[in-house]
Amino acid sequence: MKVLNIIVFLIFGFLLNGCETAPPVKPVSWVRTLNTNNQIKAGSRIFINVIGDTIPLSGNEELVRNMITEYAADLLSRRGYIISKTDFDYKFNISYLTNMGSRLSINSETTSYISSRFSNSNMYLTGSSIFYNTTIINIHETSAFLHTMTVNILDINDNLIWTGDTAWETSDLNILLNAYMVFKNLFINLPKTNNVLANVPKVKESRIIDYYMHYCHEKWFTPLALPYNIRFEPLLRIKENPNDQNSPLITILPYSITESQNLAAYVDLIIMSVFALPGGSVDNWINNPLDDKLWIEASMGGRYILGENEVPINIIINLKKISGGNGYVVTNCLVVNDDEYSKFLENMVLWQNIIRTHYIEFYNFYE
């Protein structure tokens, strides 16, 4: 249930943006990671220690530190690490800092108009026109907050073996709004095991529409796997009985969502996916893997344990770029069999190999 609490908090962060009709700008954090030859082992037992401060505030940071610890523990558990306060193999020292600054924004407005003058002399009408342009430049100073976070990994002898630094600027003082996403950017560079599946509760059948309205309807989600934000299609209003003109209207989910009790898992997959698969054919991938048109459509996949069901399910979500190309809309959420999911994974490995080969050849400058 701890995973669900974190998912709910993350989605609430998107809820703060309200009902936006245009895709919001995806927040970008600067990231640097360095490691020694002593690589951390996947599946190890780790201890997490968090310290930090929010400079504009004078209150106790304990609850913020606890939440950051929960974020880190959730993501590291998904990668196969075992969280422990005793008998651990590595210590994760996490420090954060929020500083207040300012940001200048400049915009201009230009107004054009014509001034005309006419005179009547000796039966001739003469005149002249002058064109004017007036430009008003507005400069606004607004508050901005710089958030920084560092993760240092030490072995049992307190030797530093891995460090990750990240920084991002926002207009919001609350570091927690983006901390989970930032951790994803950092921890993607750590080894992982593939036998850990996320356990996400099923949505109550009687509350599916409520869940969708609260967390999904007209909300944008920020994925790690793609450069643009993602949204679901809006709810539909249809007649309860299509053959009856007087039939009352009912609200249903978009047709793109099947097996709607899995909705929390669909949301989790959109937020948590590290890799996405482009559209197009394999020949298109090989011929031009950097072609933007490949990403008109995309897909992501994952395996989940739903509620108390011990049998994992395979989920694939298909996406399509919206008009203008600055965001994706979910075209369908599918629960597929093992063969279909294995094919998806094979294509993902193939795509990653194509990209890897392309960049190795591109940067091979020497004989």
Whether residues 201 and 137 fall in one domain: no
| Tens-digit pLDDT profile for residues 273-317 | 888 999 989 999 999 998 989 999 999 999 999 988 888 999 999
In this prediction, residue 83 carries a pLDDT of 94
Instruction: Say whether both 356 and 273 belong to one domain.
Output: yes
Q: Quick one: what percent of the chain has pLDDT higher than 90? A: 44
3-state helix/strand/coil string of 199-262: EECCCCHHHHHHHHHHHCCCCCECCCCCCCEEECCCCEEEECCCCCCCCCEEEECCCCECCHHH
Segment 106-122 shows an average pLDDT of 62
- For residue 84, give the DSSP letter: -
Residue 45 within any structural domain of the chain: no
Asked whether residue 237 is assigned to any structural domain, the reply reads yes
What is the pLDDT, as a whole number, of residue 339? 96
pLDDT of residue 27 exceeding 70, the answer is: no
pTM for the full predicted model? 0.74
CA dihedral 192, 195, 198, 204 (to 10 degrees): 170
Q: Say yes or no: 203 and 352 in one domain.
A: yes
Residues 247 and 311 in one domain: yes
Looking at the structure, do residues 248 and 331 belong to the same domain, yes or no?
yes
Higher-pLDDT residue of 164, 225? 164
> Which residue range(s) make up the domain with 342?
1-26+197-367
Residue 328 near residue 295, CB atoms below 8 Å: no
What is the pLDDT, as a whole number, of residue 3? Answer: 46
Q: How many CB atoms lie within 10 A of CB 165?
A: 16
Answer for the pair 162, 267: CB distance below 8 angstroms, yes or no.
no
Residue 327 counted as domain residue: yes
Mean pLDDT value of segment 256-281: 92
CB 285 within 8 Å of CB 351: yes
Based on the fold, state whether residues 224 and 365 are members of the same structural domain: yes
Assign 23 to helix, strand or coil. Answer: coil
Picking from 269, 262, 281, the residue whose alpha carbon sits closest to that of residue 319 is: 269
* Residue range 156-182, pLDDT digits in tens: 999 999 999 999 988 889 999 889 888
pLDDT (0 to 100) of residue 24: 59
Q: pLDDT at position 14, please?
A: 42
Q: Examine the pLDDT at 5 and tell me if it is beyond 60.
A: no
Helix segments in the chain, DSSP class H: 2-15, 62-78, 176-187, 208-215, 263-272, 282-287, 338-362
pLDDT of residue 16: 39
Residues 204, 122 within the same domain: no
Q: Tokens 């996320």 sit at which residue? A: 198
pLDDT at 211: 92
Whether 211 maps to a domain, the answer reads yes
Mean pLDDT is lowest, of 245-249, 276-280, 326-330, for 245-249
81 three-state secondary structure? coil
Range 304-333 average pLDDT: 90
**How many other β-carbons are positioned within 10 Å of the β-carbon of residue 361?**
8
Same domain, 121 and 206: no
Q: Is 231 domain-assigned?
A: yes
Amino acid at 131: F
**Per-residue pLDDT, 66:** 96
SS3 1: coil
Does any domain span residue 87? no
Picking from 150, 215, 294, the residue whose alpha carbon sits closest to that of residue 7 is: 215
Residue 282 in any domain: the answer is yes
- As to burial, measured by CB atoms within 10 angstroms (0-12 exposed, 13-18 middle, 19+ buried), residue 49 is middle
The number of C-alpha atoms within 13 Å of 284 and in the hemisphere containing its C-beta is: 11
**Which of 50-54, 127-131, 173-177, 360-364 has the weakest average pLDDT?**
127-131
| Confidence grade of residue 264 (pLDDT, cut at 50, 70, 90) | very high
Residue closest to 320 by CA, chosen among 226, 185, 242, 211: 226
112 shares its domain with 258: no
Considering the domain architecture, whether residues 134 and 202 belong to the same structural domain is answered as: no
Residues 231, 224: Cα–Cα separation, whole Å? 14
Instruction: Grade residue 126 by pLDDT with cuts at 50, 70 and 90.
Output: low
**Does residue 273 lie in a domain region?**
yes
Q: State yes or no: pLDDT of 17 exceeds 90.
A: no
Question: Among candidates 80, 79, 94, which has minimal Cα distance to 164?
Answer: 94
Give me the mean pLDDT over the 174-203 stretch.
87
**How many structural domains comprise the chain?**
2
Structure tokens of 154? 């030490």
> Residue 107 pLDDT more than 90?
no
295: CB partners within 8 A, 6+ apart: 226, 278, 279, 321
* Residue given tokens 């950092």 in the structure block: 186
Are 217 and 302 within one domain?
A: yes
Same domain as 354, residue 238: yes
Per mean pLDDT, which range of 13-27, 39-53, 350-364 is the poorest? 13-27
Helix pair 176-187, 2-15: axis angle to 10 deg = 120
Average pLDDT over residues 176-201: 86
